[in-house]
């Protein structure tokens, strides 16, 4: 896996319309980890991609009534199988963080890369997800000079009154140990 023109090679690309230009295209200085499953607790379907591409049907599941019109995206989704899907080029602003703040800086979408882990806050993530996440973070840090092992945070840390993901089931120590090897 490599990054060419801000897109991963050897991964599936499903371009989302939900992105915009970064105010400073050279400011890629934070990685934000999220989790998502649609419907909640269901894995391996196409609903996440449909949500990120404004194609989610309200009729597909009762829980989609409140979210089907959201215009959201992430740069990356790492499925429970380890498959990686990229929706937005890293040089653009994906719409993943919402109202957010990190170390005194607001609007984290402006300077972050959003990575969604297919999962739920109370269900352990898979070994292959940690392996893919580790490889991806190392690659991002090698490509974008402002990123490093200390510029990784959870959605819960940048929007603590609104969000709790990636949740208690995410093992930050495991990620840090893997990144340090």
Catalytic residues: 116
Task: Collect all residues with Cβ–Cβ distance below 8 Å to 91 and sequence separation of at least 6.
Answer: 6, 22, 25, 28
Measure the CA dihedral 91/6/26/159, to 10°: 50
Question: 3-class DSSP state for residue 148?
Answer: coil
Task: Collect all residues with Cβ–Cβ distance below 8 Å to 45 and sequence separation of at least 6.
Answer: 38
């Amino acid at each position: 896996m490599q990054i060419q023109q801000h897109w991963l090679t050897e991964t599936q690309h499903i371009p989302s319309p939900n992105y915009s230009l970064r105010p400073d295209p050279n400011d890629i200085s934070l990685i934000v980890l999220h989790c998502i499953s649609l419907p909640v607790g269901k894995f391996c379907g196409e609903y996440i991609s449909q949500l990120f591409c404004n194609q989610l049907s309200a009729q597909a599941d009762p829980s989609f009534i409140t979210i089907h019109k959201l215009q959201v995206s992430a740069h990356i989704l790492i499925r429970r199988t380890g498959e990686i899907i990229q929706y937005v080029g890293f040089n653009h602003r994906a719409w993943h963080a919402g109202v957010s703040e990190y170390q005194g800086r607001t609007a984290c979408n402006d300077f972050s890369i959003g990575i969604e882990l297919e999962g739920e806050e109370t269900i352990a993530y898979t070994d292959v997800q940690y392996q893919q996440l580790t490889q991806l973070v190392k690659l991002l840090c090698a490509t974008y000079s402002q990123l490093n092992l200390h510029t990784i945070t959870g959605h819960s840390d940048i929007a603590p009154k609104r969000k709790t993901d990636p949740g208690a089931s995410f093992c930050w120590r495991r990620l840090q140990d893997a990144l340090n090897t």
